[in-house]
Structure 1
C-alpha cells in the first residue's frame, strides 16, 4: 500500500446542474449526484492508472450537507486516498460555486477494484 505522500495529486471535475436533474422539491435529485461521483472517481482512476479495468465496490457515508439548486456549477475534488495491491480508494469533496466561500455540499469515499477480463482481481501497476 502506498502512503499519501506518494499518491497522485488531486483532480477537479465540474458539472452544471440542469432542470432535468431536479427532484419534486426543486433541488438536485440525489441519485444524479451519486452517479456523477462514481463517474468522476472512475475517470480519475482511469487517467491515473491507464490500461486497468476498475469496478466500484464501495461508496461510503451518503450524507447530503446542503441543498443544490438548478443552474449551480458544482466542483468535484477527487484525491487518491489509498492504493492497495488491487484496490484504490478516492476521497471526493463536492463544493458549490455559488459564492466565493464554496461550501462543502457532499463528501464520500469511493473504492474500486482492478479486475481482469474474467472479473478476477488484478494487481494495479502504474
Structure 2
C-alpha cells in the first residue's frame, strides 16, 4: 500500500535537507497505518526498525511515496519492508531515498503479546468494550 507526504521547510535539518528523525517518524507512522488497515481491531506497537538505509538527501518540496509491504506474519508480530521514493521538484522520475524493515507486535489491553488474526480478519472489540 502506498501513502504520501510532502517535505516542507519545517522538516529540514541544518544542511537544508529532510531531517533523518522526521523520515523515521513518517516511516513508522505510515507502516503502522498500512498494518492497522490490513489487520483491523489489532492493537499494534512498533517493536523494531532494522536495516535502516538513508540513500540520498531529500530536498524541500519533494513528494514522498511510502511503499509498505508485509514480509512476515508471525504468531504475535508482523514485519513490513518500507521503501521511500522521492519525486523531487523538477525531476522526471522518482528516486529511492530510504529503506528499512519495521516490525510490529500485537498486544492486548494489558500490553501483553496477543495473537494476530488472519489478514483482513477481525478481533474482539477494543479495550473497555
Shorter-chain TM-score above 0.5:
yes
> Between Structure 1 and Structure 2, whose CA radius of gyration is higher?
2
Per-residue CA deviations over 1:16-55 (Å, capped at 9, x if unaligned) read 0000000111000000000000000110111000001011
Out of 75, 80, 102, the residue aligned to residue 94 of structure 2 is 102
**Matched position secondary structure for 1:63:** strand
Listed one character per residue, the Cα deviations across residues 69-104 of structure 1 (whole Å, up to 9, x for unaligned) are 001101000101111111100000001112343111
Aligned to 2:125: none
Give the total of aligned pairs.
116
- Counterpart Cα distance in 2 of 1:96 and 1:29: 14
1:24 equivalenced with 2:14 (yes/no): yes
1:85 aligned residue (75, 95, 104)? 75
> Aligned ranges for residues 1-126 of structure 1 at < 5 Å?
11-98=1-88, 99-125=91-117, 126=121
> Which residues of structure 2 form unaligned runs of 5+?
122-129
Q: TM-score, normalised by structure 2?
A: 0.87
CA RMSD of aligned residues (A): 0.9
Name the SS for the 2:102 alignment partner.
strand
CA contact (8 A) 2:81 2:99 kept: yes
- The DSSP-based 3-state class of the residue aligned with 2:59 is coil
Partner of 2:127: none
